[in-house]
Structure 1
């Protein structure tokens, strides 16, 4: 009887522990619920609203798309991100991510309870507990916290709450898609599309299994598993992903073994503003887009301006990526050889003032001073850092480490900034543009030899003397006003225009480039083919300079054109852009079409914000345009452009190397005109086939940087080979549909272009000598 009270006391003590257990258990649940509620109410930091969850905001790069559907580049600040849909993700990529990061992704509702308990029990030694949805929540809506366990636990609650909300709001496929679009893969590769293009040079759908596995493996830590800096470590991580894919039965054991044995093969090319395809065009387009965004008529529905770096616009351009590639290849192939010859001719023993010719030391010093003050280094030190002129000039004399351009690749060296300016003045520059005359669509745009080191765009910015490429405008005016035939003859004798006749101060008596006059009667076709200056002077005297300037302005050329006789030989400065637009009028039956670079602009949702409307005008009759084209065909048949067709002897080995690719062997009709300015400062070639007009200019940054003689310094050697190489590549790609047909002849021609018939019509007739006015 005495033991009963003791037993009761023991039972009561055990019951107390039971109560404590259940109290702690339910208290813990209530605490977790409370923490969840506090987190959802924003007690631990701002939580996204329902509207934000419905449309999470991420910075999206503006994408530049070619006419053939390729991405040329992007505009972005920090985030180079272009989203893809779930359909744009290969199955292997999705399987690799799920197998590695969240095996039960399709079974949980945002939080993996089993994984969480495992992580708590083993303190994370057997894997973490973050689901793909939680990782997305962290990237989208939570900020990084300090290395503080309490703060990290509170952040984890926020991630849980947001993950649950995301699971309610989106499907599993949408969550996977958002995850891949948001993840930072390094090297400005934000999102899977940028990553696949950066590391493998392809679209996500084109990824192989092993490539998908590598990218999925990078999702654990893209800085650590960096295939460029740590290829071996990244390969081990990729093989872990492949084992997980085998474990989850996405691939077989045999596939895993064979794929794990493969090395990582990258096609690495970071998407930057200064590298890639069509860099000069992309920089021009960037200014176009800024002007478009600043126009008050182009606003978002809420009245705000579009941000070309953040709003994910899609800009559809007229550039054809294949033709652009061929153009850049042609420029590189020819300019590399031409530059080697220029270096050869401008060694210190051959030219003590290299790279300049014909300048005194005072003039060279003045040229270098101008270059210093126009440099980016001067601008930054003067206006950003507030340095004095003396401090800046002193910095140009101090040797520094730098990377410079060479045709063999970039080179690390040590030199003064002043020496680097002179070094770059040795390099010849070029500009090239190719356009469809019927639509105005610009298909290729090469503004220089390397945008990273030579950022001045020689297509749109660089206006240079046009030389003999101006002459077809004079001939076209004469054909229009005087109804002259290409078969009419004029004497090759000196022709002078007296002072004051057309506002010219002095008498103008131009010489031929050879300095000689043959005295022969030459047809207009022969005269243009051989660029005879005396006959061009005769023609502009017959029609007057003013009608020529009016025609040129109607052809879209906005540069200043004085109405004086000397313009006949190409003294005005024009850009390649202007010249291609003007020449296209001849190929388009006399109708000028303003060059078009952008066909439409869409927002990130596909809504069309802009569509181009062609600007056209009738400038000349079809008959005048066609007759001028037939004149220019003579240039490539028997004149300065004949090397496009005919084989000819080249005794100089170096010269033969420079014009490699020749003879080009073209047999189709080609209209064109070469141009060479005084002292060989500028070399031009304008070439046309019925559906493609292409202009090329080559020269130095300074007019005093040029070849010493015509052998290398003429347009037929400097510029024409680029056109020939480019067109050979275009014709080899039959999908492009570049024409090999004749130019279309108008009906009811009244101007005789068949010189055999013209000679018959000009046969002598019986005349009454008394009726002739001598």
Structure 2
């Protein structure tokens, strides 16, 4: 009996011994597997340095002065990482409840989840923790197939445990949200919330957070956009809501009500060709930032990469004013273009969209457009012959073109590339820039009507004749050198500058725009208000073209100015960027401040790489600058800019121009100048209040694309309405702080600006028919 008991005891001990041998072997095997994985037997493993600083491509972000993201710059990844404290609690709760409910309890591997997955062969959920999923996103890549998946899983385990040692639980969650690709260029949670809901992460509602977390399962399949899988996305969102309720993150009744809600998107795609300030962003990308990178290196000597290094570009743009500017441009240009189309039908104008050209001149324009087109360059690079290239321009193809009559401003059509070139030349172009004169900070920048279809930036790339907007430089020279005052007068009679004087080759006898001369004396204030050419000619004769050119250049005009008398009427070509900077000198008491669009650059760690230093120059005395402002106030009180305050018909009766938005009901002090070039090819308006200077230009791509009548083609009709709409919107938002006050008057002003006695005469002299014609748009 004792012997039998001893046998049983020995057998039990043997089983125990084998159990521990097998258990120990299992532990050893697991340890060996982890060791082999760490030795990269199953694939490359991340280094300690890469764990400390996992490399992801980060988009460059353009930030407005009021803290809004204007847009991103990226090649593949539109990613802007945010910290854990910028994630709303509801978003974190949704992730933990759905993906890894024991996230805060394990060290990277969920043993209970793993056991459940083994027991049910994955039918009741997998065992991947948030740390493992992050490891896969950062260092492993896409899921492997067949037997290789097991080795990949081992690598994920090892990397997950390493991540847990290097980062807090909160940092791991933030990294996971930042690394995930939510589709449609929504790389990371911040891009996703902006693209799908048009808001920042902290503004997410519970159902929105649940939808985004649901996309972690498969962002391509569970995509909310209508042409993808909105029904499946909604169902997946409801699963997330159910998980939140299951684990106590959400009340059951609230869960039920949220599950009934439809998907509500505010889809706002982020690309280089969409969003606010597209023209400015492209200028920064292609010019300003490119040049900065050339001149500034990383500490290790490498170049910064504007697409991958996560730079933050802090701009001077105010997103609210930018929005007002873009809306003003669209509102006016849509109506102006409609009238242009009416006047340029084939029946009315057989050479549309060109005027006053012979066939050979039109052919030359089209030939130049063909040879500078991207199609010509691309086919040439492919080795196509010229005959093949020209043939391709005549072949009709499917294309999407700009169309004012569509809600999206696009339409699908079939036309030849040659016809599309002519089609686009029918559209009027525009440019607008707004700047704070005291700081040079550019607050709004609109280079055209639609960047996707009109990529030429007329703010800084374009240059057109300035017309009468150049005249203030002439008046400034006369007041500065000859001490004229706005109340001094000169005769409005024909005036000629003889050949040889001031370098002109022949006699120059400019006419007024209406071809008439009043024969009366007109004050400088009257003359500038109504753009009297004869008086401007007298002034430039007295001060000389060289003096005018020097003043213009000292106020920021960099283009060559031929020093001949004709510059007085705006022959020199200018761009809006420089003109706004120059006019800012008048508003800033004679001090020129160079326009600036970038104040600071930071790297992805917040290190400041660049800070703007203002560039200023004393150009005019305070007295002269104030006298010029006073002169230009007359333009909006009694001259061609008067429609900002009121409009008249031929019978001097006030009327409301519904289509163009007149009157603008602006009663505050405004200084400005309209400008119109020969044949109405260019319309300008420069407008100023004490803390904001804005310039607007409107015209065709070709100078031969223009209105046939001055009523429509003058600056007061083409450009001024954009300024009026923009300023009216700015004043509607008091938070913008746009001044309604009078311009600051220097103490002990030495120049007489009190022209009270002539105001009545100026009113009586207002040419209501020509200057303020009732336009039937």
Go from structure 1 to structure 2 and tell me whether the alpha carbon gap of 1:251 and 1:441 turns closer, same or farther (over 3 Å shift).
same
Greater Cα shift, 385-394 or 449-458: 385-394
> How many angstroms apart in 2 are the aligned matches of 1:248 and 1:417?
61
Q: What is the deviation of 1:375?
A: 1.1
In 1: Cα distance, 2:292 partner to 2:389 partner: 37
> SS state of the match for residue 686, structure 1?
strand
Q: 1:13 to 1:311 in 2, by over 3 A?
A: same
SS in 1 for 2:686: strand
* Aligned counterpart for 1:42 among listed residues 3, 26, 40: 40
Residue 674 (structure 1) aligns with: 674
What's the offset of the Cα at 1:743?
0.7
Alpha-carbon distance in 2 for matches of 1:290, 1:123: 55
Structure 2 match to 1:117: 115
TM-score by length of 1: 0.94
- 1:390 maps to which residue? 387
Map of 1:241 onto structure 2:
240
Q: Which residue number corresponds to residue 323 of structure 1?
A: 321
Deviation at residue 92 of structure 1 after TM alignment: 0.2
Deviations 1:475-502 (A, max 9, x none): 1100011101111111111111111111
Q: Does 1:216 align with 2:210?
A: no
Residue 271 of structure 2 corresponds to which residue in structure 1? 272
**Correspondence list, 1:233-632, <5 A:** 233-286=232-285, 287-295=287-295, 298-383=296-381, 385-407=382-404, 408=406, 409-632=409-632
1:663, 1:588 → 2: CA distance?
A: 28
Query: Structure 1 pair 389/146, CA: closer, same or farther in 2 (3 Å)?
Result: farther
Match of 1:644? 644
Quote the offset at 1:327 in angstroms: 0.2
Confirm or deny: 8 A CA contact 1:341 1:658 kept in the other structure: no
Match of 2:224 among 223, 227, 241: 227
Task: Find the aligned partners of 1:638 and 1:232 in 2 and give their Cα distance.
Answer: 63
CA drift of 1:559 comes to 1.1
- 1:772 is aligned to none
Assess, with a 3 A threshold, how the Cα gap between structure 1 residues 689 and 606 changes in structure 2: closer, same or farther: same
- What RMSD, in angstroms, separates the aligned Cα atoms of the two structures? 2.1
CA distance in 1, matches of 2:496, 2:378: 52
Name the CA distance, whole Å, in 1 between partners of 2:388 and 2:438: 55
- Residue 123 of structure 1 deviates from its aligned partner by 1.7
Instruction: Verify the 8 A CA contact 1:684 1:716 in the aligned structure 2.
Output: yes
1:521 Cα deviation (Å)? 1.1
1:663 maps to 2:668: no
Following the alignment from structure 1 to structure 2, what is the Cα–Cα distance between the partners of residues 757 and 377?
A: 63
- Does the residue aligned with 2:457 lie in a helix, a strand or coil? coil
Q: Is the 8 A contact 1:650 1:656 kept in 2?
A: no
Deviations 1:485-523 (A, max 9, x none): 111111111111111111111111111111111111111
Summarize deviations over 1:585-605 as a string: whole Å, max 9, x none: 000000000001111111111
Query: Does structure 1 retain, via aligned residues, the 8 Å contact 2:647–2:656?
Result: no
- Deviation, 1:757, is 7.3
Distance in 2 between residues matched to 1:10 and 1:252, nearest whole Å: 58
Structure 2 distance, partners of 1:625, 1:10, is 113
The aligned counterpart of 1:202 is 199
Separation in 2, partners of 1:448, 1:379: 24
Kindly indicate whether the alpha-carbon contact (under 8 Å) linking 2:277 and 2:446 is maintained by their aligned counterparts in 1: yes
> Does the Cα contact within 8 Å between 1:685 and 1:720 map onto a contact in 2?
yes
> Quick one: distance in 2 between partners of 1:207 and 1:756?
60
Match of 2:149 in 1: 152
Runs of 4+ in 1 over 4 A off after TM superposition: 7-25, 655-659, 756-759
Pair 1:744–1:10, CA change in 2 (3 A): closer
**8 Å CA contact retained: 1:337, 1:658:** no
After superposition, the C-alpha distances for 1:30-87 in whole angstroms (9 at most, x for unaligned) are: 2222111000111112211212111111111111110000000111111111011111
Shift of 1:299: 1.9
Verify the 8 A CA contact 1:429 1:698 in the aligned structure 2: yes
Match of 1:93 in 2: 91
Separation (CA, whole Å) in 2 of partners of 1:390 and 1:131: 62
- 2: CA distance, partners of 1:41 / 1:358: 79
Q: Describe the superposition over 1:94-149 as per-residue Cα deviations: whole angstroms up to 9, x where unpaired.
A: 000000011111111100111111112222111111100000000011133542x2
Count of residue pairs the alignment pairs up: 749
**Distance in 1, Cα, partners of 2:757 & 2:529:** 20
Partners of 1:132 and 1:599 in 2: how far apart? 39
Question: SS of the residue aligned with 2:501?
Answer: coil
Q: TM-score, normalised by structure 2?
A: 0.94
Q: Helix, strand or coil: the match of 1:84?
A: coil
Q: Secondary structure at the match of 2:502?
A: coil
Following superposition, the deviation at residue 758 of structure 1 comes to: 9.5
**Structure 1 unpaired stretches of 5+:** 760-774
Is contact 2:193–2:201 with CA below 8 Å preserved after alignment? Answer: yes
CA–CA distance in structure 2, aligned partners of residues 325 and 32 of structure 1: 60
| Inter-partner Cα distance in structure 2 for 1:18 and 1:172 | 40
SS in 2 for 1:502: helix
- Distance in 1, Cα, partners of 2:552 & 2:213: 59
Contact (CA 8 Å) 1:61, 1:312: kept in 2 or not?
yes
Is residue 2:158 matched to residue 1:169?
A: no
- Matched-pair contact (CA < 8 Å) for 1:382–1:392: yes
1:463 and 1:9, CA in 2 relative to 1: closer, same or farther beyond 3 A?
Answer: same
How far did 1:18 drift?
Answer: 7.8
Which residue number in structure 2 is paired with residue 691 of structure 1? 691
- State whether residues 433 and 696 of structure 1, in contact with CA within 8 Å, keep that contact through their aligned partners in structure 2: yes
Contact 1:145/1:151 (8 A) holds in 2 = no
Instruction: Name the SS of the counterpart of 1:257 in structure 2.
Output: helix
What is the rounded CA distance, in whole Å, between the counterparts of 1:18 and 1:666 in structure 2?
96
How far residue 27 of structure 1 moved from its aligned partner, in angstroms, is: 3.2
Cα distance in 1 between the residues matched to 2:748 and 2:124:
88
| Aligned: 1:186 with 2:173 | no
Task: Determine if the alignment matches structure 1 residue 107 to structure 2 residue 105.
Answer: yes
Assess if the C-alpha contact under 8 Å between 2:144 and 2:152 holds in 1: no
Distance 1:415 1:14 in 2: 90
In 2: Cα distance, 1:618 partner to 1:631 partner: 20
- 8 Å Cα contact 1:640-1:674 kept in structure 2: yes
Q: Secondary structure at the match of 2:149?
A: helix
* Maintained 8 Å contact 2:657/2:663: no
Residue-by-residue CA offset, 1:311-356 (whole Å, 9 max, x unaligned): 1111111000000000000001000000000111111111111000
Instruction: Report whether the alignment pairs 1:753 with 2:753.
Output: yes
